[in-house]
Chain A
Amino acid sequence: MAECGASGSGSSGDSLDKSITLPPDEIFRNLENAKRFAIDIGGSLTKLAYYSTVQHKVARVRSFDHSDKDTEQDHEPPYEISVQEEVTARLHFVKFENTYIEACLDFIKDHLVNTETKVIQATGGGAYKFKDLIEEKLQLKVDKEDVMTCLIKGCNFVLKNIPHEAFMYQKGSNPEFRFQTNHPSVFPYLLVSIGSGVSIVKVGPGSWETTGLCSALLSTGCMSEPCQAQVETEDRFEWIGGSSIGGGTFWGLGALLTKTKKFDELLHLASRGQHTNVDMLVQDIYGGAHQTLGLSGNLIASSFGKSATADTEFSKEDMAKSLLHMISNDIGQLACLYARLHCLDRVYFGGFFIRGHPVTMRTITYSINFFSKGEVQALFLRHEGYLGAIGAFLKGAEQDNPNQYSWEENYAGSSGLMSSSPELCPTQRPRSGTFDLLEMDRLERPLVNLPLLLDPSSYVPDTVDLTDDALARKYWLTCFEEALDGVVKRAVASQPGSVDAAERAEKFRQKYWNKLQTLRQQPFAYGTLTVRSLLDTREHCLNEFNFPDPYSKVKQKDNGVALKCFQRVIHSLDALGWEERQLALVKGLLAGNVFDWGAKAVSDVLESDPQFGFEEAKRKLQERPWLVDSYSKWLQRLKITVE
């Protein structure tokens, strides 16, 4: 998360100077290569999206032609490494408070180089209000896009491209965030968008069949190219209902009741209140003598029921809390009723009422569980706030077919999910003045599920979920912290000719160190935390400072050595009997794995004993039975197959 330099830290949101100077490369990164803008202006937050091309170094491997060479004899490396400059596509999404909109537009105008861009896609309630300002500042024509269409497009995009995008929130349980592995078939699903009012939308191919008020209207403007057919059906949606009791009701009624003007402050009040002082509970009607009823006495019989009969004054906190419950419960109830009517068991929630607020996520989850008796899942999205901007951007970029590619979240350039709740994270800086970022890199090739997997949707590649396992998390974070010096050294060493390598490496250290600290505080910031994601984050950070692969030389050397050993190993394996060969194979796999990433013990050994090799590793292996040992079973199965 980047902070606005001039006034971000320390000062509160109220006293922010609107004419701040933004640190250019921290927030609107890579503007000089930017083209194609989209903007989503909500009630309080603006989300800007743009596309840029990023030039960075890539380490490429090129094989020698080995046909006329005897690899055994010389010390030549087995292949050549060439560092090339490559251009990749990146999507940038920046979220900031509406108060900064003018300053941001000025900044963009000053730094925008590309002149091809003529149009900016705009959505959100504020798009109309700021239309003139945008056109004047950026000299771009504003194209207004439908809010809901953008929201759905954005939602489908993140659900498809960002693993662990959706999560369930259970306050007090461990972990509080339970991420969903992205299911290949999320459709159809229910999306409940809680803005000032509530819209309930059914998304996906399934929604097409159901007759609705607006099916006919929906067909307009969606169809373009045949290759997009799949996406088009997925982007179909049907507005199946709504409610006028939403975020605006919380805010408006809350402002009237508590004289508190800001939405976030209202939530803050609510988080400290006691709704039982205002609400009429079952036990208030049935009497204190029946506390034997246990929990059911705590149920709310009538929201604000006590304020109708008692002449006492009610505290702001209590009223805000009561209001929050009233609205969350109501929305949850309606969502359940619609889910039931349409036979859906997953409901995604979005809109400013949610916006990652633990307070509202908690009450909504509670309500959904209560009304559906646990049969419906309430799901939230890590990038919920960006959906509109992403969708608007995609609308404008249809000619580039962004949906044909796979995109991945760039952990180095993204802020991650931040908690806005002070009680969750007391050390957190105030939300005001912060700029939230999301960057997504286009992958060279589309990602597909491994066809050999029996059930891709249930396959979890990571053995340890570090969001879940606090001890393991601590261990691995420490592990990566301690290894950081070594990586920095390697990085510098990998670019001997570069004058600024040391400086860049230092920046890398700082960035990665900060990421690790964030993850210590908020392990859920980037979805499920795994060793793999920690490595990915490191790689993204290295890439950002132009260290494509600090280990390329090491790998090159090791591979050379390995290749030299290869013939010998093959011969010795061939000499063994069938059964011994199987055991040797497995031992070899285990020993090989010892060299795998992150194994601290191995790196210690290698540092102290450069001669340590495959044979040594094999000798270090534990005798059978191993910790998890299904070797005999496996062998048995093999025998049958062989026969």
Chain B
Amino acid sequence: MLKLGGGGGGGGQDWACSVAGTGLGGEEAAFEVARLGDPGKAGCRGPGRGCAGIPDSAPGVGMLQAGAGGPARGGQGVEEVGAPAGGGEERSARHPSAPALRLLNRKPQGGSGEIKTPENDLQRGRLSRAPRAAPPAPGMGDHGGQPERSASHAPGTPAGAAAVNGVLHNGFHPPPIQPPRLCSRSLPGGGDAAPPRLPLQPELQPQPPPPQHDSPAKKCRLRRRMDSGRKNRPPFPWFGMDIGGTLVKLVYFEPKDITAEEEQEEVENLKSIRKYLTSNTAYGKTGIRDVHLELKNLTMCGRKGNLHFIRFPSCAMHRFIQMGSEKNFSSLHTTLCATGGGAFKFEEDFRTIADLQLHKLDELDCLIQGLLYVDSVGFNGKPECYYFENPTNPELCQKRPYCLDNPYPMLLVNMGSGVSILAVYSKDNYKRVTGTSLGGGTFLGLCCLLTGCETFEEALEMAAKGDSTNVDKLVKDIYGGDYERFGLQGSAVASSFGNMMSKEKRDSISKEDLARATLVTITNNIGSIARMCALNENIDRVVFVGNFLRINMVSMKLLAYAMDFWSKGQLKALFLEHEGYFGAVGALLELFKMTDDQ
């Protein structure tokens, strides 16, 4: 009933994020649009750039600023003209100076436009939460997730966190050496899994005086948190979430090094979440775990475990939130790190329905950090990145591993519902070059309208069987052969859907042909824009990611062909195994980083 596949990948929302996901982006976009209606100001790069000068602000705060600024400026430009999802926008990656600016504690009524101090926020947040929060069960499971801030003055950094730091800041991490996991699991009491550095050590550290606003309840949670010896490590469960326009991508870290003591301490609903997620591959009617993508024996934040990749349609989001409420997820006091447009769209619902505060993250930051991380850890011993050898020769074209150890500069093309194109110069220096609204959502949307299909899988299946040359007008249809004057082969598409101008041709094509033509049109267009961006940015490595490529070999090969052919071999198209999940991984990484920063 619901569509699973979707070109969810986060392109649309990626893009959206770059515009609106942060205050900065939001404002810039607003100005861009406003400027259109006023050619007189066209030359003035002022407003947008001016914004760039605003010190990094929390997403939420930024949003409020954008909100205040936007409408006043606008008015004229947009009318009902459809603004495309493009518009290059320069910006450098920021690592959100997160903790101080987290919206964790935003006043529920929100949106008043005032800029809140963290202290105020904390207080408000606490007060508003207090009545709903599950009463802390003494000695059990409450890891006191929420007010990590208060730990920010804690001196000393456990080794485990430092390792995490290493991963995060240089983007590289040696593939984990496989410890005898199974063994440790089979013996719940077995101590080899738990690193000796963990127990209780932090207790010995003097704790900073808690902020003045701290309530007894909070202090209590805080203490328990310290008791568990996880200072600078977030409490379980560890989730990273990317809520896109079409698909929600969820990564879940399943710790496999749980000690007997931990297992005993583990509260019931935490355990049930773990069991539920890891023992199923499908959730409800529409949730899917991509088992084949699972990253095994991964060390994250000092813990060893498996990283699971789960997706479900964005339209099931409300059910998901409902479930969170029913399972009393909020009692775990975990921080839910979320990126994608849905992090904004559903924030309110998370809070009011499930009593959960989202930690909202910039989706392009997440995308890049997630991508670099996954590539650095590899795909269970295999490389994450690959390319197609002999892309212009269908007979010899085949998938080959590619080493992305030195990835910069790269053009990163994220194809979700829409498409974002980024030029990445280093892990924290990138700019969004442009984007297009013709993405996975367009493919699926048009396919649904043209063929009556309902899912991404269905659409791709049809496309695999179809022949686009019945639908498209080729160069040879116009010129009888190659158009030598322009160096165009007769087989090149002159006009996508061009044959459909004629009624006879409309009556003679199949749904499969239409699906194929739609796929080819969208893919080639993205390829064409990406190629132009690569030329303009002088980058020869083009990395294609996003869920539009999921189970979509046709598009991958087309892109590989297009990059190679039109650039005469100068450009290389690269692909990654975890296509659409990098945003979610990046969000999870932020969870560790944010804890670490305190």
Contacts and interface: CB of A to CB of B under 8 A. Distances in A.
A113 interface: no
A279 B43 CA distance: 30
B26 A293 contact: yes
B81 interface: yes
A305 B498 contact: no
B437 A326 contact: yes
A301 B418 contact: yes
A309 B83 contact: no
Contacts of A213: 486-487
A274 interface: yes
A202 interface: no
B462 to A, nearest CB: 14
Contact of A294 (B16, B69, B471): B69
A294 B73 contact: yes
B473 A196 contact: yes
B449 A305 contact: no
A430 interface: no
Contacts of B496: 197, 244-246, 248-249, 252-253
B275 to A, nearest CB: 31
Given A244-B472, A275-B82, A255 B42 contact: no
A246 B532 contact: no
Interface string A465-493: 00000000000000000000000000000
A370 B66 contact: no
Interface string A219-254: 000000000000000000001011111111101110
Given A294-B74, A296-B26, A369-B42, A362 B81 contact: yes
Interface string B272-297: 00000000000000000000000000
Contact of B39 (A170, A241, A248): A170
Interface string B405-449: 000000000001110000000000000001011111110111111
Given A248-B495, A282-B19, A333 B441 contact: no
Given A261-B503, A329-B437, A300 B83 contact: yes
Contacts of A340: 536
A247 B446 CA distance: 17
A239 B485 contact: yes
Interface stretch (A159-167, A371-379, A412-420): A371-379
Interface magnitude class on chain A? 35 or more
Interface in B89-130: 111, 113
A246 B447 CA distance: 19
A280 B67 CA distance: 21
Contacts of B448: 307-308
B344 A303 contact: no
Contact of B16 (A301, A325, A337, A363): A301
B30 A296 contact: yes
Of the listed residues B32, B444, B496, the one surrounded by the most CB atoms of chain A closer than 10 A to its CB is B496
B83 A253 contact: no
Contact of B501 (A251, A292, A375): A251
A631 to B, nearest CB: 34
Contacts of A329: 82, 84, 86, 436-437
Given A305-B12, A308-B447, A373-B35, 8 more contacts: A43-B501, A195-B495, A249-B496, A285-B13, A301-B12, A305-B445, A362-B81, A370-B32
Interface of A: 43, 125, 146, 148, 168, 170, 172-173, 195-197, 199, 213-214, 217-218, 239, 241-249, 251-253, 255-257, 261, 274-276, 278-280, 282, 284-290, 292-309, 314, 319, 321-322, 325-326, 329-330, 332-334, 337-338, 340-341, 362-363, 366-367, 369-371, 373-375
Interface of B: 3, 6-7, 11-13, 15-16, 19-21, 26, 29-30, 32-37, 39, 41-43, 45, 48, 63-64, 66-71, 73-74, 77-88, 111, 113, 244-246, 313-315, 340-342, 344-348, 416-418, 434, 436-442, 444-450, 471-473, 478, 484-487, 492-501, 503, 506, 514, 521, 524-525, 528-529, 532-533, 535-536
The list of the 3 closest CB pairs from A to B, nearest first, reads A294-B70, A292-B67, A287-B345
16 contacts: A197-B498, A248-B496, A289-B348, A293-B26, A293-B66, A294-B74, A295-B34, A298-B33, A300-B85, A301-B12, A301-B441, A303-B437, A303-B441, A329-B436, A337-B532, A374-B41
